[in-house]
């Protein structure tokens, strides 16, 4: 009797799994369809270019200091030469720290991207939630993020539904 109860409980806990629906979307594709994304990307590119120009300027200054040192090397005492090398090394360290601060892991560029993309991603995720509820999906995957999907059946791709929810769908698209 005990085994029968365990079997019945196991059966009732497994059966709902077979009725669950899963789907996936490609948020990178959806993001690229949003007109606001182009504006955000343009702003990020401008910021990045500005920071790159600053870094190039700092690097040129260091190169000039090396050139001056080499040109004046015969006129300098060992102490003076060492003093200039220390100054140059300090500038190199400052340059590397600045590069890391701006372009490193969770640097200024990354933080600015997160700040500017958050409203767009929130909009997409709200649409995904609506589509998931309408389609009665238990789980929605994002194939453009960290999840590795070796195979995807197009029948379970809900990207077009999310685009429709955002008002970006293709009106001539009849396959859903």
Task: Give domain limits for the chain.
Answer: 21-165
**DSSP letter assigned to residue 157:** B
Mean pLDDT of 14-40: 82
What residues contact residue 20 under an 8 Å CB cut-off, 6+ apart? 138, 139
Selected residue with higher pLDDT from 52 and 151: 52
What residues are paired with 132 via a beta bridge? Answer: none
Task: Output phi, psi for 103, to 5 deg.
Answer: -110, 0
Supply the pTM of this predicted model.
0.68
For 106, the 3-state DSSP assignment is coil
Of 64-68, 88-92, 150-154, where does mean pLDDT reach its minimum? 150-154
């Amino acid at each position: 009797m005990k085994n029968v109860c365990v079997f019945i409980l196991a059966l009732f806990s497994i059966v709902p799994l077979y009725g669950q629906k899963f789907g996936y979307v490609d948020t990178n594709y959806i993001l690229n369809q949003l007109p606001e994304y182009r504006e955000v990307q343009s702003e990020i590119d401008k910021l990045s270019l500005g920071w790159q120009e600053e870094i190039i300027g700092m690097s040129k200054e260091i190169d000039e200091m090396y050139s001056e040192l080499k040109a004046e090397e015969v006129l300098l005492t060992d102490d003076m030469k060492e003093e200039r090398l220390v100054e140059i090394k300090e500038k190199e360290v400052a340059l590397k720290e600045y590069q890391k601060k701006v372009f490193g892991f969770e640097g200024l560029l990354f933080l600015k991207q997160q700040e500017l993309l958050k409203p767009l991603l929130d909009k997409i995720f709200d649409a995904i939630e609506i589509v998931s509820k309408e389609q009665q999906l238990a789980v929605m995957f994002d194939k453009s993020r960290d999840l590795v999907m070796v195979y995807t059946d197009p029948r379970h791709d809900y990207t077009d539904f999310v685009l429709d929810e955002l008002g970006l769908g293709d009106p001539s698209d009849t396959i859903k």
